[in-house]
Amino acid sequence: MPNPLCEKSNGQLILTIPLIIFMDNVSGNVSKQWNKHHAVYMSNASMPCEMLEKEFCVRFIIKAIKESIGAATDKGIVAYDCKYRDEVMLIPYGLFEAGDNPMQVEECSHGSLHCNYFCRTCKVGEMTSMKQSDEGYLKLFKIGELRRPEETIQQILEQIELLKLSGGTTKVQNAVSSTGTHNTISASIVNHLLELRKQRLEREFEEMLGSLSVEDHINPLLSMTGLNVHQDMPTEILHIILLGIVKYFWGQTIWILDKAHLIKIFQTRLDNINKDGLNSPTLSLAQLMPFLIYDLVPSTVLNGWTVIGQLVVLLWHTRIDDVKEYLVCYLSQP
């Protein structure tokens, strides 16, 4: 059978464009001077970074990101290709969505760490009593059943129905805790619509809905063609590792050194590291620490820094699944 894209492009060459989609909130967390708002922008994953940094490649998107990409994918974008010296049809698609952890949680309609099943990617987790046991703790480092957008949509619709009942707010909170699904992105819209219905303001309710239903106002990213919001979101390693594990372990190590009056020895060793032959102007403390504190701290702290050094290398060269497997093997050792 002929490919339907050939008919759409009218015989023109078709090139697909992978898009990296990033979203984050601004101002609301640190200042009351400005209203909190969300900034969304995309970049072409097939272009080198030195090109993406140029001003003509910067275009900010505030809303309707799903509709914009969807329309461009359905109709295609005709452009002149300087390599082929001819007009081609471009078909963009979402490659993955980038962002920090809190923003990615919202984009997935997930309830974050406050839920029993706290992962936005899979259903790892248990009740608190189970997670605090040795068996339950080790299970946290294994991948659970993967979440599916269609299942998340169904859980959101069930929560909307619960909101209509007496004590609906409490019922929804329990559902969020037990499933991990929480429709943060469009919750305020849905709640407002349901409040209009409760107040029997049917005219205002119908006007706000227009030709859509309440269900059409939930997180649009969950039904975005070609993108799985649960799977197509790379783990954000800055806050998890560098500003998480490394920063806090660094703080505890410095506390130990300071308590033992060994800070000056540590500083002297750090200042006298031979940097000749390095192809980087900065050093990675995560990998250097074992060589600086080998006789200054307890063996458990030294072993911790050795594991962190190996973990940092894995983050840049393998998948996050391999990192989890590595941690499970380490934690399983006596």
CB–CB of 276/299 below 8 Å? Answer: no
Q: How confident is the model at residue 33 (pLDDT cuts 50, 70, 90)?
A: low
User: Which of 164-168, 251-255, 327-331 has the lowest average pLDDT?
Assistant: 327-331
Is the model's pLDDT at 330 over the cut of 50?
Answer: no
The predicted-structure confidence for 53-69, as pLDDT tens digits, reads as follows: 776 665 545 546 777 78
The residue ranking higher by pLDDT, 217 or 77, is 77
- b/e sequence 234-255, b meaning 16+ C-beta within 10 Å: eebbeeebeeebbeebeeebee
> What is the tens place of the pLDDT at every residue in 155-185?
998 888 887 778 878 888 888 888 999 887 7
Q: pLDDT confidence of 265, banded at 50, 70, 90?
A: very high
Nearest in space to 232 (alpha carbons), one of 23, 14, 15, 5: 23
Task: Report in angstroms the alpha-carbon separations of 152 from 111, 182, 303.
Answer: 12, 9, 41
209: part of which helix (H) or strand (E)? helix 202-209
Residue 42 has pLDDT above 60, yes or no: yes
Q: Model confidence at 37, in pLDDT bands (50, 70, 90)?
A: low
3-class DSSP assignment, residue 235:
coil
State the average pLDDT for the chain.
80
pLDDT above 90 for 148: yes
Percent of the chain with pLDDT over 90: 19
Q: Return the H-helix or E-strand segment holding 32.
A: none
**Residue 264, pLDDT above cutoff 90:** yes
| Residue 97 CA: distances (Å) to CA of 108, 224, 265 | 10, 12, 45
Backbone φ and ψ of 40, nearest 5°: -125, 130
> Is the pLDDT score of 327 beyond 60?
no
The Cα 124–Cα 312 span in angstroms is 23
CB atoms within 10 A of CB 77: 14
pLDDT surpasses 60 at 317: no
Confidence check: pLDDT of 75 > 60: yes
pLDDT surpasses 80 at 16 = yes
Residue 13: name the closest of 93, 92, 89 by CA: 89
CA count, 13 A, side-chain hemisphere, 213? 3
Between 195 and 182, whose confidence is greater?
Answer: 182
69 near 224, Cβ under 8 Å? yes
Least trusted range by pLDDT, from 48-52, 207-211, 322-326? 322-326
